[in-house]
Amino acid sequence: MMKNLIFINGTMGVGKTTTSKILQKLLPKSIFLDGDWCWDMSPFIVTEETKKMVIDNITYMLNNFIACSEYENIIFCWVMHEQSIIDEILSRLDTRDCKEYKFSIICSEEALIARIKEDIKQGIRREDVIERTVPRLQCYHNMDTEKIDVSNISAKEAAEIIYNKITI
């Protein structure tokens, strides 16, 4: 049986996690991994050692999901702001029985700032996220992914777009 391996990337606050959770409910026999869960640490430390650890964690879990006969759809979302990150993860996965899908969730700078400000109001993010996430918006335009512009659509609509591309 061929499985669907779905990668969803985008800058912080663009709606990757929300879109992925909705997609998980739409697709049968699906499992979802958010890359952030693989290094939810305090304090948050980014070094070569911790970057290696998080990639090891992600690929270990994704390979286990792929190997498990109970799942047909594996959804993975993470910032993945460089093509090399996607390539590194995919190179370490057993994808022989998988159809790979790669999506970048993108939006306008104005839409992103509005989303982040709403998250700040709700206590989900801190103000400094804006200065870190906006410059990364451009990273996704030249990646080997299908782009979904969510500037004027909801996460539910984005999930439905992905669903329709996978189930055709």
pLDDT (0 to 100) of residue 124? 87
**24, 67 contact by CB (below 8 A):** no
Residue 154: per-residue pLDDT: 95
pLDDT of residue 31: 98
Pairing label, strands 73-78, 146-149: unpaired
Q: Full-prediction pTM beyond 0.85?
A: yes
pLDDT along the chain (168 residues), means of 10: 96 95 98 93 90 96 97 97 97 97 97 92 88 92 97 97 92
- Cα-flanking dihedrals φ and ψ of residue 27, to 5°? -90, 140
The conformation of residue 128, written as its DSSP 8-state character, comes to: T
Instruction: Look up residue 148 and give its two tokens.
Output: 């979904």
Query: Comparing C-alpha atoms, which of 154, 54, 165, 150 is closest to residue 104?
Result: 150
Residue 100, amino acid: E
Which residues does residue 103 pair with via DSSP β-bridges, in sequence order?
Answer: 8, 146
- Assign 159 to helix, strand or coil: helix
- Tell me what pLDDT residue 16 has: 96
What residue ranges define each of the domains in the chain, with the CATH number in brackets? 3-167 (3.40.50.300)
Q: What is the pLDDT of residue 128?
A: 87
**The 73-78 sheet, strands edge to edge:** 30-34, 73-78, 3-9, 98-106, 146-149
Rg from Cα positions in the chain: 16
For residue 135, CA distances in Å to 73, 90, 146 come to 32, 26, 20
- Is residue 83 a contact partner of residue 13, using CB atoms and an 8 Å limit? no
Please tell me what DSSP assigns to residue 136.
Answer: G
